[in-house]
Amino acid sequence: MASVDRTLTPELQQPEQPSDLWLLDLSAGADRLGGSALAQVLGQAGGAPPDLDDPSRLRSLAQLLADARRAGLLQAYHDRSDGGLWVCLLEMAFAARCGLQIDLTDSGAPALARLLCEEPGAVVQVRRADRAAFELLLARHECSEWAQRVASPQANAQVAVTTADWTFGASLHELLDIWGETSWAMQR
């Protein structure tokens, strides 16, 4: 690689220019919880596990990411699987020390399953000014049906989740403390 300037990391770019985080959901909304951290905590580790039902989606995702990166449309990238969308989004916010507005009102799925399933996929950050160009690439690579805007970075240090049924809010610092305590306990 000639320059690290075009390297994608999970660190969100600060919101001087408004942007959105897009979930690229390789399971196309299956949101299976079998074997997930949530299922384990609830003592229900059984059930259908995450899976890549259609391998052609993985090829489409790789081509989409390559073209979007080449066009300079992506600001950040993180995989979704380990820990689910909730963990993915928090890790991106923690890296940038910025807040998030997460909106799952139009997800078409139970919000808790959408947030905590560990299906394969990715989250990318795209400037709103580049939305039309990104949506054209989504269509070209046949990814539109399983791509969804799910969040936007915020300059404040607050994380807010809005769903069709409930809302949640906490400071980034509170969530980072909880994250640190959990990580420390797991490593003992």
Q: Where are the domains of the chain?
A: 8-187
Q: What is the pLDDT of residue 184?
A: 60
Cβ(162)–Cβ(103) below 8 Å: yes
Written as six digits, the tokens of 55 are 């391998």
The one-letter amino acid at 87: V
User: Given a cut of 70, is residue 5 above it in pLDDT?
Assistant: no
Q: 124: alpha, beta or left, given left = phi > 0 and alpha = psi -120 to 50?
A: beta
Residues in the chain: 188
CA distances from 120 to 30, 111, 188 (A): 10, 17, 29
C-alpha–C-alpha distance, residues 72 and 126, integer Å: 9
The CATH architecture annotation of domain 8-187 reads: Alpha-Beta Complex (3.90)
Cβ(123)–Cβ(92) below 8 Å: yes
With DSSP H G I counted as helix, E B as strand and the rest as coil, what are the percentages for the chain, rounded to 5? 40, 25, 35
Assign 4 a pLDDT band (cuts: 50, 70, 90). low
Q: What is the pLDDT of residue 55?
A: 96
Mean pLDDT of 75-97: 95
Assign 2 a pLDDT band (cuts: 50, 70, 90). low
User: Given a cut of 80, is residue 18 above it in pLDDT?
Assistant: yes
User: Given a cut of 90, is residue 86 above it in pLDDT?
Assistant: yes
Query: In the chain, pLDDT over 90 holds for what percent of residues?
Result: 78
Instruction: Give me the half-sphere count of Cα atoms (radius 13 Å) on the Cβ side of residue 77.
Output: 17
Q: What is the pLDDT of residues 112-163, one digit of tens each?
A: 999 999 999 999 999 999 999 999 999 999 999 999 999 999 999 999 999 9
Mean pLDDT of 44-52: 87
Written as six digits, the tokens of 60 are 């489409």
Cβ(50)–Cβ(117) below 8 Å: yes
C-alpha–C-alpha distance, residues 174 and 46, integer Å: 31
User: Given a cut of 80, is residue 186 above it in pLDDT?
Assistant: no
C-alpha–C-alpha distance, residues 184 and 38, integer Å: 19
